[in-house]
Amino acid sequence: MSKTSTVAKPTTPNARKGRSQASKRARRLLKLAYRTRRGMAPLYATSTLAIAGSALAVPADGWKTAVAATLTGAAVTAAWGRWNARVGKKRLRKRMPARRDVIAATSAVTTGGSLLTAMAATGGLQPGHSPYPGLLLAWGLAHGVYWWRRGRRTAAPVVSDLGEQMQAWQDNVASADGSLPGSKLVDVVTTDYGWTGVIVLKKGNWRRAVSALHDIAGDLDLPEEMIQIEKAMGKSARRAIIAVFDHNPLAKGTDYPGPHILNTTTGQAEVGIFYDGAPAHYAFWKPSGPVHSVIYGATDGGKSRFLDMLLGTERHNGIVSFVCDPQGGQSLPRWRESVDWYEDTALGGLAMLHEVRNIMYERSARYSMMEFTDHKGRQLRGRDHFVVGDPDPLISVTVDEAHRVLALQGAPALVLEIVLMARKCGIKLRLVFQGPKANMYGSGPESTDIREQLQSGNTVMFRTASSLTDSIGLPGWDVNPSQLPMYWPDKTSTAGLGYIKGPDNRQAQFRAHFDRDPAHWALSGTTPTPEASAQACTGKAYTERHKRLAARLRGDAVVLPDTVTMAAAGDPIAAATAAIEAEAPAGSDDKVAAFLLKWGRAVGRNTIAQETGLTVSAVKNSLTRLKKTGRAIDVDRGVWTHPDHVDAAETTTQAAA
């Protein structure tokens, strides 16, 4: 059987050489297209749109595919502009896209999809006798101009520049004689303000990198104020984030957008931004109750404008504001007639604190007997926490230049009592100082305790005057508010620049929003007021507040209740008497005497308090005064009756007790 064989036709060298050169040219073109993908993106998108339109015009129902692609693209663009998901503590994207970029992307998708659908439904591109080539050219140029302008505005250094930064780190910082020997700089990316990266330490934790900031600036030959180092949240303790600025992103600042910065679900407000554009949060309350606050800052640090923003937020979110501005009302003049209670003297501030104490005890007695439904649907009695608006509003007490009030007789002990007990009763205390020294909190032994309790809540620290107090105001933080500049390079003020210890817990510079028109928020809306029972338990210091304010505006002398005046005079006996009298709301004696007469038999102090709506301490003091005037008789320990019913007391004393 014969065998056949097939002999392949030999390929000529010229043919092999031609195919090889063609493939090389194709690879070069692909590499060139990849390298120029950012700059030529509008051209590539326009070409893709023309090809897709012609291809979808071939099948009869190709326009349906174009419509589906357009809707899908619009949905993806909307999601891209809004999603901000997290996995655990890790945020999946560093920042949300700019509003103008979202608008441009939406325009490109919707107009491009409409053009694609039209081509698919009417026969494709059809060059020479249809408007589609011109429309495609106009579409590409319109969106290309924005793309190229955006590229120049946010142009990032080329890869070699980032390589130089990493090389400089290895040569100068991570070297044997550098600031952080053996460390690495990874994840270096460009930003709108310079570049940022992650420091991976060979030994120690992130605090070592923070403490070496000044040495790192020297190693990299950069200005100290143009470097920020902070803890890498949610990552290894050996990692820290470094940000290097070519210009400080906080120099421009941000305007106060309005009272909607407060999230009424979480109780947190976005009061400013950090250097990377992330919002800085301040807590008005959390599930367990209000959050006390302390604010520090030297002159022109930004304290007053920060308070303007907080008071505007409170007024338009149903929070009752009490304000004391001992500087004659000069720091917060817009709020004199726009908060429920305003005092412009230190003595008035002390009167305010006494009345706040009365409200605290009135609410405490009422909440301890309150019936409520818990999260499991059970009916319980006695609520041990405060719920905003259920049934009472949150009361926020702001004392500017608080050292002047705390210097008065008895003020430190009064403030400490409020700080320790007021949160469960829905009262928030906010004190403002020039600095965190202990003498700012008064001369009594309570001063340190007051500072520690306040700093356990929100602490806002703008530029201070002394480096000795930096660690006192923000204990455990490796920051230096005293080294914040007073002016930016363009000679404008840095007011509002500082650090905030709150829900974010970031040891990084932030700048508060600037309220350019506090009068707008002070004059609009309505002034929230406390509940009726809280107003009823107060004395003349509160009930006559509007009368004193009117006298002040007329230029007349303002007279406070005698009890407050005596307490501030330095007489210990007068101070004790004032403290007792402060617990007796106006008309409480008559209310207790009328109740005893109506009750008709012996009754205990607790029952009197429950039936009259007064606190137990107020009832006790009223009964003591009524006994002196013969209007009440104590028939047993803690059991009282009216003189007209003393004959019935013997048979009812045991039951009353």
Residues 6+ apart with CB under 8 A from 123: 57, 130
For residue 412, the surrounding DSSP H or E stretch is helix 411-421
Instruction: Give me the mean pLDDT over the 175-201 stretch.
Output: 87
Length in residues, the chain: 657
Three-state SS string over 250-299 comes to CCCCCECCCHHHEECCCCEEEEEEECCCCEEEEECEECCEECCEEEECCC
Q: Which domains does the chain have, with CATH numbers?
A: 34-153 (no CATH), 159-245 (3.30.980), 259-484+492-532 (3.40.50.300), 587-656 (1.10.10.10)
* Whole-number pLDDT of residue 25: 77
How far is 412 from 444, CA to CA, in rounded Å? 7
DSSP one-letter code for 232: -
Whether the pLDDT of residue 160 is over 50: the answer is no
How far is 181 from 457, CA to CA, in rounded Å? 38
CB-based contact 308:501 (threshold 8 Å): no
Residues 6+ apart with CB under 8 A from 397: 322, 324, 352, 353, 356, 418, 427, 428, 429, 430
Question: What type of residue sits at position 105?
Answer: A
How far is 634 from 22, CA to CA, in rounded Å? 113
Q: Between 134 and 290, where is the model more confident?
A: 290
Whether the pLDDT of residue 523 is over 90: the answer is yes
Whether the pLDDT of residue 369 is over 80: the answer is yes
Q: Residue 573: exposed, middle, or buried by beta-carbon count in 10 A (0-12, 13-18, 19+)?
A: exposed
How far is 496 from 304, CA to CA, in rounded Å? 10
Main-chain phi, psi angles of 277, to 5 degrees: 90, -10
Q: Between 607 and 444, where is the model more confident?
A: 607
* Whole-number pLDDT of residue 394: 96
* Whole-number pLDDT of residue 307: 94
SS3 163: helix
SS3 430: strand
* Whole-number pLDDT of residue 340: 95
Residues 6+ apart with CB under 8 A from 228: 242, 243, 245, 275, 508, 509
pLDDT band at 349, cuts 50/70/90? very high
Whether the full predicted model's pTM is greater than 0.75, yes or no, is no
Tens digit of pLDDT for each residue in 564-594? 544 444 444 444 445 445 455 557 888 888 8
Integer angstrom CA distances of residue 438 from 296, 443, 449, 450? 13, 8, 10, 9
CB-based contact 244:196 (threshold 8 Å): yes
